[in-house]
Amino acid sequence: MLTSDWWRGAAIYQVYVRSFADGDGDGTGDLAGVRARLPYLAELGVDALWFNPWYPSPMADGGYDVADYRAVDPAFGTLAEAEKLISEARTLGIGTIVDIVPNHVSDQHPWFRAALAAGPGSPERELFHFRPGRGENGELPPNEWPSQFAGATWTRVEDGEWYLHLFTPEQPDLNWNHPAVRQEHEDVLRFWFERGAAGVRIDSAALLAKDPALPDFVEGRDPHPYIDRDELHGIYRSWRAVADSYGGVLIGEIWLPDTERFARYLRPDELHTAFNFAFLACPWDAPRLRAAIDGTLAAHAPVGAPATWVLANHDVTRTVTRYGRADTGFDFATKAHGIPTDLALGTRRARAAALLTLALPGSVYLYQGEELGLPEVEDIPADRLEDPMYFRSGGTDPGRDGCRVPLPWSGTAPPYGFGGADTWLPQPDGWAGLTAEAQAADQDSMLGLYRTALRVRRTEAGLGDGPLRWLDAPDGVLAFTRDGGFGCVLNTSPGPVALPQHRQILLASGPLGEGLLPQDTAVWVRLDE
Ligand code: GLC
């Protein structure tokens, strides 16, 4: 059962449908695959599923180029199947979060096709940002805005006008100054809430509003022409009114370094929560982890919103790979492959990070495959890569396919029980030990750890939303308590440290010494009274 404030302390599992499970054997994951695996998700013990976009899409950006927000891509199934999935999950006590992409549509969306056909000066073009070019013959783009992906942000169409796209040319940006754009999205929200969605993840939530003059971008000038503009708050207030009328939850994808600006989106009449990327980007370093945690909690406190904790998603290098590198920091722009990686070390740290994350106040996101300890796949042949980030950077950015490889479910060789043999991205050899089947029987596997941790998290009253109190700890060690005598200790220092006085060990991320917590290990304890 989802209570009305379930989202404040939820464990939410991210399903990248294309790679989760393939029900019809064509090598692409689908809703039938998810429905068949609902028991797995229920056993894992998550409260909700967030689905990456499942709408009809030419897949120029993995489905973030949406052609119809009210349907399901035939490769994934049908709308009726999505409705069944939502209600079956609900029966298991699992809510569904759909992904809404408001910044842009697909170039195949009827609105954009109509805009192209209608020509310059037409009302259809006003739904987007069409402009004449600069230069003598309009041959230069209307301005010089940096792209969110490498490459240009403007594309010229046959009649000579240019249109804006912060991402790929197949993702034209909508004009959020237009009332029809606002109206349409509120209707789309209602559409999914009426079909039982418990929440909505808002893609690129801080990018929608543009300075209507479309001025050149000048470093440091305030306000930014398209990031974090004040107009956004009015948009999200009206979304909140819609969400509240269904008891639905709004979750923003907001990458902003300024925590005070970030928290403005979480005021009581705006979004419920937003992803906290500062924690994800933090290297494996106790003082920096603590600073990220404190900074996050301090930013959320004044607005009364719970924090969210994320270690991975479909856009970033997989956790065990990141933590297996000397510099575990993450930079969205310079994601690299081929860096020396110690996967055993990365896995040990990822296990410890899982216990840290699941013990922090607020909600937690878990990206499919994280519970299996999957590494980034770094050797996908170039002719199989799909991510536009790779192509638009001329191959200097490896792109995000490496964290989107179809999951291994069972067996010893590809497709590892995923479904059809011809998986849309190739799976590597060597994943036999990482399948859900191989790990299910083993308490000490990553899957075993996640299952136990999520179970404890549900039964411990002090976990999820609520206060955290730091304990004194040696250098390199983080120790804190939650209500109910719960304690969490993480040791990132080079040697073992003494465990705190405790009555009971609830769970450890790795083997413990006699009264000792080894390096790169975390433990959950019931503290002495
Ligand atoms: C978000 C998504 C990412 C997508 C981009 C454009 O950052 O998470 O996958 O490429 O928005 O929609």
> What is the model's pLDDT at position 338?
79
Mean pLDDT along residues 439-450: 97
Ligand 1 nearest atom to the CA of residue 313, by list position: 8
What distance in angstroms lies between residue 203's CA and the mean position of ligand 1's atoms? 6
How far from 223 is each of 216, 227, 233, CA to CA, in Å?
A: 12, 8, 14
236-272 confidence digits (pLDDT tens): 999 999 999 999 999 999 989 898 999 999 999 999 9
What does the alpha-carbon distance between residue 288 and residue 291 come to, in Å, rounded to a whole number?
5
> What is the model's pLDDT at position 529?
73
Mean pLDDT along residues 370-385: 96
Sign of torsion, CA 406 407 411 413?
positive
**For ligand 1, atom 2: residue with the closest CA:** 203
**For ligand 1, atom 6: residue with the closest CA:** 64
Q: CB within 8 A of 75, min separation 6: which ones?
A: 18, 26, 28, 30
pLDDT band (50, 70, 90) for residue 3: confident
What distance in angstroms lies between residue 526's CA and the mean position of ligand 1's atoms? 41
255 C-beta closer than 6 A to ligand 1? no
Question: Taking all residues of the chain, what is their mean pLDDT, rounded to a whole number?
Answer: 95
Ligand 1 nearest atom to the CA of residue 388, by list position: 10
147-185 confidence digits (pLDDT tens): 878 889 999 999 999 999 999 999 999 999 999 999 999
What distance in angstroms lies between residue 314's CA and the mean position of ligand 1's atoms? 9
427 C-beta closer than 6 A to ligand 1? no
Ligand 1 nearest atom to the CA of residue 101, by list position: 12
347 C-beta closer than 6 A to ligand 1? no
3-state secondary structure of 19: helix
> What is the model's pLDDT at position 331?
54
Q: CB within 8 A of 245, min separation 6: which ones?
A: none
Ligand 1 nearest atom to the CA of residue 255, by list position: 7
Ligand 1 nearest atom to the CA of residue 315, by list position: 9
Which region, left, alpha or beta, applies to residue 362 given φ > 0 means left and ψ of -120 to 50 means alpha? left
pLDDT band (50, 70, 90) for residue 333: very low
pLDDT band (50, 70, 90) for residue 330: low
Contacts 24+ apart (CB under 8 A), 53-56: 53/99, 53/101, 53/203, 54/17, 54/82, 54/98, 54/99
Domains of the chain: 6-102+176-212+249-446 (3.20.20.80), 110-164 (3.90.400.10), 467-527 (2.60.40.1180)
439 C-beta closer than 6 A to ligand 1? no
What does the alpha-carbon distance between residue 204 and residue 186 come to, in Å, rounded to a whole number?
17
**For ligand 1, atom 3: residue with the closest CA:** 315
Min mean pLDDT across 131-145, 234-248, 331-345, 464-478 is at 331-345
162 C-beta closer than 6 A to ligand 1? no
101 C-beta closer than 6 A to ligand 1? yes
Question: Do residues 500 and 527 lie in contact, with contact meaning Cβ atoms separated by under 8 Å?
Answer: yes
What distance in angstroms lies between residue 506's CA and the mean position of ligand 1's atoms? 38
What distance in angstroms lies between residue 62's CA and the mean position of ligand 1's atoms? 9
pLDDT at 20 over 70: yes
315 C-beta closer than 6 A to ligand 1? yes
93-116 confidence digits (pLDDT tens): 999 999 999 999 999 999 999 999
Q: CB within 8 A of 441, min separation 6: which ones?
A: none
What distance in angstroms lies between residue 248's CA and the mean position of ligand 1's atoms? 22
What distance in angstroms lies between residue 127's CA and the mean position of ligand 1's atoms? 21
Predicted TM-score (pTM) of this structure: 0.97
What distance in angstroms lies between residue 244's CA and the mean position of ligand 1's atoms? 26
Do the bridges between strand 516-517 and strand 497-498 make them parallel or antiparallel, or are there none, so unpaired? antiparallel
Strands (DSSP E) found in 16-94: 48-51
381-400 confidence digits (pLDDT tens): 999 999 999 999 888 889 99
273-300 confidence digits (pLDDT tens): 999 888 998 999 999 999 999 999 999 9
Ligand 1 nearest atom to the CA of residue 61, by list position: 10
Ligand 1 mutation target, pool 204, 365, 393, most atoms within 8 A of CB: 204
61 C-beta closer than 6 A to ligand 1? yes
pLDDT band (50, 70, 90) for residue 328: low
pLDDT at 324 over 70: yes
Ligand 1 mutation target, pool 61, 104, 253, 275, most atoms within 8 A of CB: 61
Do the bridges between strand 199-202 and strand 249-252 make them parallel or antiparallel, or are there none, so unpaired? parallel
Ligand 1 nearest atom to the CA of residue 314, by list position: 9
Catalytic residues: 203, 253
- Residue found under tokens 């080079």: 494
401 C-beta closer than 6 A to ligand 1? no
What does the alpha-carbon distance between residue 412 and residue 431 come to, in Å, rounded to a whole number?
7
> What is the model's pLDDT at position 73?
98
